[in-house]
Amino acid sequence: MDFASSEAVPGVPLVAGSATSTKIVVAGGFGVGKTTFVRSVSEIPPLTTEAVMTEAGAGVDDASAVPQKKSTTVAMDFGRISLAPDLVLYLFGTPGQGRFWFMWDDLVRGAVGAVVLADTRRLADSFPALDYFEGSGLPFVVAVNQFDDAPVYTPDAVRDALGVAARVPVLICDARHRAATVEVLTALVEHALAAEPAAV
């Protein structure tokens, strides 16, 4: 999508002279790429609360699937993107570790939708986020962050493995690339509008 153009996101109504801003949550398991997702797409320097991983987290945070990971989000990530001239999304990335899940209620308050990032090497790590958003009724999409060394599956195969309802969009993306993250966010906005027309 050309951010310099005045073309709107398909399905997103714009009102001349008005600006609509909305809150989006990016969630998922530990080390699945939430910080990378927010960084890749934010048009402002993103706010991150990264802390260096230490021995104190050994046995608490399972980093076996991401041995190269040296830091972790301990509160949230924050970024902003304009999907259209009159539509601004504020992105809030959640911490993935179970010991920080108590923050989720505050981070999700006021959001119109969520992105649940998944890693095919450890799909089970997605279940807490899926359960949370299914229980809350907040519209969400599943985005498989395709790591270089991860098995490749179709969206339908991932849907079946996670038991995600047919109405929930499932996409494959690379959280390092802006175009891919924009595609995911656009799909979420369209899904949220379809689920709750007055949400955005």
Cβ neighbour number for residue 44 with a 10 Å cutoff: 9
**77-91: average pLDDT:** 93
Phi, psi of 33, rounded to the nearest 5 degrees: 115, 20
Which of the pair, 129 or 2, is modelled with greater confidence?
129
**105-133: average pLDDT:** 94
Of residues 125, 122, 56, the one with CA closest to residue 94: 125
* pLDDT for 53 beyond 50: no
* The pLDDT of residue 8: 39
Supply the pTM of this predicted model. Answer: 0.78
Strand-pair category, 87-93 with 71-84: antiparallel
| Distance, CA of 127 to CA of 59 (rounded, Å) | 20
Q: Which residue has the tokens 């939708």?
A: 113
Cα angle 32, 91, 10; round to 5: 105
Cβ neighbour number for residue 39 with a 10 Å cutoff: 20
Cα angle 184, 32, 9; round to 5: 10
Tokens of 8: 């709107």
Domain locations along the chain: 20-56+69-194
**139-153: average pLDDT:** 96
- CATH 3.40.50.300 assigned to 20-56+69-194: yes
Given its phi and psi angles, is residue 31 left (phi above 0), alpha (psi -120 to 50 degrees) or beta? left
**Strand partners for 91:** 24, 79
* pLDDT for 71 beyond 60: no
Contact 37, 117 (CB under 8 A): yes
